[in-house]
Each structure stands twice: as C-alpha cells, then as structure tokens.
Amino acid sequence: MPAITTNDLKTGMSLELEGELFQVIEFQHVKPGKGPAFVRSTLKNLKTGAVIDRTFRAGERVEQAIIDNREMQYLYNEGVNLVFMDQETFEQVQVSTEIAGDAVSYMIDGSKAVLKMHGSKIVGVELPASVILNVKETEPGIKGDRVAGATKPATLETGLVVQVPLFISPDEAIKVDTRTGEYMNRQND
C-alpha cells in the first residue's frame, strides 16, 4: 500500500490505521504560533461506521488504502447474505448483512448499489442518495385531514417504516433519502 504524509490528506480518501480502514470525512492543517504544525482530522471507520477524531503530526506517514468501487445489481436476500451481480462479468457476489448495514432497508430486487472493495474483500455498500420505494401499509388518508406538517407511519416494501404526510396511501411510490431515512416526496408514474 502506498504511504502518504498527513500533508497529502484529502476528503474522501481511505486510510489503513492499526489494521482498520478509515475514510477521511474532514481535516484541517493547524499551524499554532508556538510549537509544531499538526493535522486535525475526522475519520469514519468503514467496518463499524464509527466516527472518530484523530490528530496527526504534520508530515507523519500513514498508509493509504486503495478502495475499488464496483457498481453491482442487487439480486436477492439469502438470510444472512445479500447476493449482488456484476453487470459486466455476471459474477455473483455475496455480502453479509452486517457489512451492508442500513443499506438492506433500502434495496429491492434489481436495484443498483456500489460495493466498496479493499483487495478482494468487500468493506461496504454505498447506495444512491435517494431511492423510490412503494408503500405497503399505512392508514388511509381521510378527506379533509390536511393538517400542515402532520405525519403518520408507513411500512415500505422493504419493511422500513418512515414517517409520511397524511395524504400518502398504500401502493403509492415515494422517494426516500437513504442517508437520513426520511420521506422526500411522492413519485408520480
């Protein structure tokens, strides 16, 4: 793996520290009036999702991790594993639901996702910023019940429960933000 200095850090870059993979969320070079310069950084653990703050000496050498992003199509859930297919080679890959994390709640058969690979090991699943899912169950909207900002729970086709406006009814398609899990808008066919 290529070694870089902390002066070369960039947002989104992946590092290998103490046997774990981290992604740089943000960093700041600090040159105090007295003493040596240092780099203050916020790192996200790619395995656990935990976010940590870490301070490095300026010019300190760290290992850069090469993460390969491969777009794949989600095929089906096999209990503890999710099965994806590479669109170019038609190779099928299994990813544990533990590695996929919250992505399981937003994927339906045929949806696309980017698998993050470190060597031949899958270290994460990245989804688009939003997905369109169908509402499976929710209380029907009552005519005239249009209180501004009022919401009700709705169960989507993946089993995810989100808060939706009162006018949403079962079998409607809605757009959901995959980063926050919140309703964005209703999708018209």
| Domain boundaries along the sequence of the chain | 3-64, 68-126, 130-187
* CATH class for the region spanning 130-187: mainly beta
Query: CATH fold of 3-64, please?
Result: SH3 type barrels. (2.30.30)
pTM: 0.70
pLDDT of residue 14: 87
User: Which portions of the chain are predicted below pLDDT 70?
Assistant: 1, 141-148, 189
Domains 3-64 and 130-187 in one fold = no
Cα Rg for the chain, rounded, in angstroms? Answer: 21
Look up residue 149 and give its two tokens. Answer: 């900002």
| Cα pseudo-dihedral 94, 45, 24, 53, rounded to 10 | 170
pLDDT of residue 175: 92
Sign of CA dihedral 28, 68, 109, 131: positive
Which CATH architecture best describes the domain 68-126? Beta Barrel (2.40)
pLDDT of residue 148: 66
Task: Please give the C-alpha separations between residue 115 and each of 16, 36, 60, 63, 92, in angstroms, as whole numbers.
Answer: 18, 40, 30, 22, 12
pLDDT of residue 85: 92
pLDDT of residue 127: 87
H/E element, 4: strand 3-5
Look up residue 97 and give its two tokens. Answer: 């639901």
